[in-house]
Homo-oligomer: A and B are copies of this chain.
Amino acid sequence: MIKPPRDYHDMDDPQARPRYTGIASFFRAPVADALADTDIGVIGVPFDLGVTNRSGTRHGPRAVREQSTLLRRINGATGIRPFAAARVRDLGDCWIERPFELTGAQAEITGFYRDVVAAGIVPLSVGGDHSITLPILRAVAAGGPVGLVHIDAHGDTGGDYMGSRFHHGAPFSRAAEEGLIDPARAIQIGLRGTTNDPDLWGFSQRAGMRVMMMDEVQDRGWRHAADEARRIAAGGPVYLSFDIDSLDPSQAPGTGTPEAGGLTMIEALRLLRALRGLDFVGADLVEVAPPFDVGTLTAFNGASILFELLCLLAEAWTARGATP
C-alpha cells in the first residue's frame, strides 16, 4: 500500500526544502554507500567512449542530478508517490577503472549491475552514451530475455563501426543476438533522420521488433504509440530505454546526435505515463550531453523524464507485491 507522503511542511525532509539547497543527489534522495535498504537505485554511468560523433555524456549524471532537484515528491498527473512507495536511493556512479578499453569497460559495468540486481534492487540508470545499455542488460536480463520499450531517434541496431562492435549505435543488435531482449516483445519508437546505411532499420525489422517511425507517432498520436508499446511488451518483464535524442532538438539540444523533428516533452511525458501496467524491471535515460546544452533545458527535461521512469518502476515494483 502506498504510504502517505511526509507532510508538506516537514522541513526535515530534504525534498521539501527550497530546491537550491543541499548537495545535488538524484531528486535529493538519500545517497547510499552500500546496497542495503534500497528498493530502487538511481545510478549514474558517466561513460561516453562508445560515441562516434560528439561526446560529453560523461557529464550527464551530474547535470541530471542538479536539475532533478527542481522536482518534487508526487507525480501531479498520476498521483504516484515513488518515494513513499519504495526506498529510492542515489547509488552514486558506476565505477569504471579501465575506461579507455571499451570491451573491458563494458564488463566492469555489467559487474556493477550484477551486484545491484543480486541485491534485489531495481536499477534506474542515467548515462552516459547508449552503449551502456548493453552491459546493463547483461545483468538485468541474466535470467532470460526481457521485453523492451525503446524510445529514440535511432534504432541503435547497427553493425560494426570503425573497428568496434560495441558502440552507442549498436546496443540493441548486440542485445538481440545475445538473447537479452525478446524481439517479439520489443518496440522502438520515434526513429527518424538522415542515414548513411540504406538498411539502417533493417536489423530491427528482420529481428521482429516493432519499429514505429516518428511520422507514425505524429500521425496517430502518443496514445497510439503507448497502446502499441503496451500491446507488444506485455507478458513479462520489460526494460525501458529512453534516449534523450528522441525529443525534438528544441527540447533537447544537449545531445550528441540530434535529429530534427522529434517528440515534444508533453508527448513524451504522456506516452510514458500511458505505459503504466507493464512490468518494468529496469530503465535508463541516456545521451544527455551537458556541454552541448543551452542553459539547462536538456538536463531539466531529462530529469523530468527520469521522474516518470522512476514512477513506472515504483509502480511496477509495488505491483510485484514488494513493499519498502
Using CB atoms and an 8 Å cutoff, list the residues of chain A in contact with chain B: 4-5, 8-9, 11, 15-25, 31, 44, 46, 48-49, 52-56, 58-59, 62, 65-66, 70-77, 79, 81, 90, 92-93, 95, 97-102, 104, 159-164, 167, 191-198, 200, 213-215, 218, 248-251, 253-254, 257-258, 260-262, 264-266, 269-270, 291-297, 300-301, 304-305, 307
In the complex, which of the residues A15, A23, A66, A253 has the most CB atoms of chain B within 10 Å of its own CB atom?
A: A23
Question: Given A21-B95, A71-B194, A73-B196, do A265 and B269 touch, yes or no (CB 8 Å)?
Answer: no
Q: Is the CB of A23 within 8 A of B20?
A: no
Closest B residue to A215 by beta carbon equals B77
Question: Given A66-B62, A269-B260, A269-B261, do A11 and B97 touch, yes or no (CB 8 Å)?
Answer: yes
Q: Which of B16, B196, B294 contacts A8 (CB 8 A)?
A: B196
Which of chain B's residues have a CB closer than 8 A to the CB of A77?
Answer: 192, 213, 215
Which of chain B's residues have a CB closer than 8 A to the CB of A22?
Answer: 92-93
Q: Is the CB of B99 within 8 A of A18?
A: yes
Q: Is the CB of B72 within 8 A of A194?
A: yes
Which of chain B's residues have a CB closer than 8 A to the CB of A92?
Answer: 22-23
Q: Is the CB of B304 within 8 A of A260?
A: yes
Q: Is the CB of B99 within 8 A of A162?
A: yes
Mind listing 29 A-B residue pairs with CB under 8 Å?
A5-B196, A5-B198, A8-B159, A8-B196, A15-B196, A17-B95, A18-B46, A18-B58, A18-B99, A18-B162, A20-B53, A54-B58, A70-B258, A74-B194, A76-B194, A77-B213, A100-B102, A100-B164, A101-B164, A214-B266, A218-B266, A248-B251, A248-B266, A249-B301, A250-B265, A250-B301, A253-B296, A258-B300, A262-B266
What is the distance, in angstroms, from A309's C-beta to the closest C-beta of chain B?
A: 13
Q: Which of B72, B213, B218 contacts A196 (CB 8 A)?
A: B72
What is the distance, in angstroms, from A88's C-beta to the closest C-beta of chain B?
A: 14
Question: Given A54-B59, A100-B163, A295-B253, do A46 and B74 touch, yes or no (CB 8 Å)?
Answer: no
Known: A21-B93, A98-B163, A261-B266. 15 other contacts (CB 8 A): A18-B53, A18-B162, A21-B44, A22-B92, A23-B90, A23-B92, A62-B66, A70-B257, A70-B258, A100-B162, A250-B251, A258-B300, A260-B301, A261-B264, A291-B291
Q: Which of B66, B97, B193, B265 contacts A248 (CB 8 A)?
A: B265
Which of chain B's residues have a CB closer than 8 A to the CB of A214?
Answer: 266
Q: Is the CB of A294 within 8 A of B291?
A: no
Complexed CA–CA distance, A90 and B19 (Å): 18
Which of chain B's residues have a CB closer than 8 A to the CB of A31?
Answer: 23, 31
The 9 closest A-B pairs by CB, nearest first: A291-B291, A260-B304, A261-B266, A72-B194, A8-B197, A294-B295, A98-B163, A72-B196, A294-B294
Which of chain B's residues have a CB closer than 8 A to the CB of A19?
Answer: 53-54
Which of chain B's residues have a CB closer than 8 A to the CB of A265?
Answer: 248-250, 260-261
